[in-house]
């Protein structure tokens, strides 16, 4: 069993602790949080030790999930990587590209594993259609959330939109040619709602919208490719796919998908554990987001933010 800890047990970090406590090949030995009472509550719930300082566990674990505020990712993550501890850091990988490079260089020097928590890659709805993506020509995404007073250390682009930016980069095999973006603050000093238009060199276009001041939760991505239209609902874990069926007459036919619903974060953490254990995944299994891929998503998100601030 792999000895693990979760550093930062806020709303998301507690889910990491819960899942590790359920996985048979994981031994959750500790949780860490500067809020001592919160750490003790989570530790009691999942039967492990609690600490206020991450320095106390540097030499007692094999791997960690890092779910602290983004500004602390590089500082804390590098310390664990230097001690040969494998790190899964929540997205975004860091608050800037320089700090992302610090994590990547520390990982390369130690030979340990650095994975970035882009959990939407593991959504069963996306996995159901990923192999069918051939030549996407147009994307339309909407990632809308009800306002909650957390994750406000970053704007909505780095908080929510970055999920869809990572997926689009994952599906489009072409450099970006042009970015146009707008964004405005509504309830916080940072951008709370944003829209970006990405033009790729191969002609593909992506129109990406994210908001954390909406009245309902929406997680949808639609794309068009020759003769096909695909709609993915990440929240409901459902897929709609329509294609042109040729015969005596041309007509639109629908393809149905039987999707076994599951928790993307759980699959992501299991994939992280498998990689730590040296288990090779098959071509059909999803792969975790590497440090380099996490940096690429961050770079695009920062460029979108820069364009939005100039508009």
Q: What is the pLDDT of residue 253?
A: 85
Q: What is the pLDDT of residue 64?
A: 98
Taking only the tens place, the pLDDT of each residue in 14-33 is 999 999 999 999 999 999 99
Q: What is the pLDDT of residue 282?
A: 61
Q: What is the mean pLDDT of the chain?
A: 94
Helices (H), ranges, 111-184 = 124-129, 156, 162-171
pTM of full prediction above 0.85? yes
Q: What is the pLDDT of residue 283?
A: 58
Separation between Cα atoms, residue 130 and residue 46, nearest integer Å: 35
**What is the torsional sign of CA 129, 134, 140, 146?**
positive
Question: Do 259 and 236 touch, CB atoms closer than 8 A?
Answer: no
Q: What is the pLDDT of residue 128?
A: 95
Separation between Cα atoms, residue 304 and residue 299, nearest integer Å: 9
Taking only the tens place, the pLDDT of each residue in 252-295 is 888 889 999 999 999 999 999 999 998 876 656 678 999 999 99
Q: What is the pLDDT of residue 153?
A: 76
Taking only the tens place, the pLDDT of each residue in 66-104 is 999 999 999 999 999 999 999 999 999 999 999 999 999
Question: Do 297 and 189 touch, CB atoms closer than 8 A?
Answer: no
Q: What percent of the chain has pLDDT over 90?
A: 88
| Residues comprising the chain, all counted | 311
pLDDT category of residue 57 using cuts at 50, 70 and 90: very high
pLDDT category of residue 251 using cuts at 50, 70 and 90: confident
**Domains defined for the chain, CATH in brackets:** 2-117 (3.40.50.720), 120-261+288-310 (3.30.360.10)
Separation between Cα atoms, residue 197 and residue 165, nearest integer Å: 11
Average pLDDT value for residue range 125-146: 96
- Closest to 182 in 3D by CA, of 155, 147, 201: 155
């Amino acid at each position: 069993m792999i000895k693990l800890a979760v550093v930062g047990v806020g709303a998301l970090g507690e889910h990491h602790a819960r899942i590790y406590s359920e996985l048979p090949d994981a031994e959750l030995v500790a949780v860490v949080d500067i809020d001592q009472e919160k750490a003790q509550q989570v530790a009691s719930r999942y039967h492990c030790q609690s600490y206020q300082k991450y320095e106390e566990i540097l030499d007692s674990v094999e791997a960690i999930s890092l779910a602290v505020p983004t500004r602390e990712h590089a500082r804390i993550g590098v310390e664990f990587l230097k001690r040969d501890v494998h790190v899964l850091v929540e997205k975004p990988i860091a608050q800037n590209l320089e700090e992302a490079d610090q994590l990547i260089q520390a990982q390369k020097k130690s030979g340990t594993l650095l994975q970035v928590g882009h959990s939407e890659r593991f959504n069963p709805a996306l996995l159901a259609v990923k192999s069918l993506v051939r030549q996407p020509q147009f994307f339309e995404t909407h990632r809308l959330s009800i306002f909650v007073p957390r994750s406000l250390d970053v704007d909505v682009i780095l908080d929510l939109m970055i999920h869809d930016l990572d997926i689009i980069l994952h599906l489009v095999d072409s450099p970006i040619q042009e970015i146009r973006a707008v964004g405005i603050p509504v309830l916080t000093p940072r951008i709370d709602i944003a829209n970006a238009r990405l033009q790729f060199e191969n002609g593909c276009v992506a129109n990406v919208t994210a908001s954390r001041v909406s009245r309902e939760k929406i997680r949808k991505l639609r794309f068009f490719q020759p003769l096909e239209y695909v709609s993915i609902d990440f929240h409901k874990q459902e897929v709609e796919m329509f294609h042109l069926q040729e015969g005596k007459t041309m007509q639109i036919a629908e393809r149905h998908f039987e999707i076994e619903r599951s928790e993307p974060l759980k699959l992501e953490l299991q994939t992280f554990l498998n990689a730590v254990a040296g288990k090779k995944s098959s071509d059909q299994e999803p792969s975790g987001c590497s440090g380099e891929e996490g940096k690429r998503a961050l770079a695009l998100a920062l460029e979108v933010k820069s364009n939005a601030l100039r508009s």
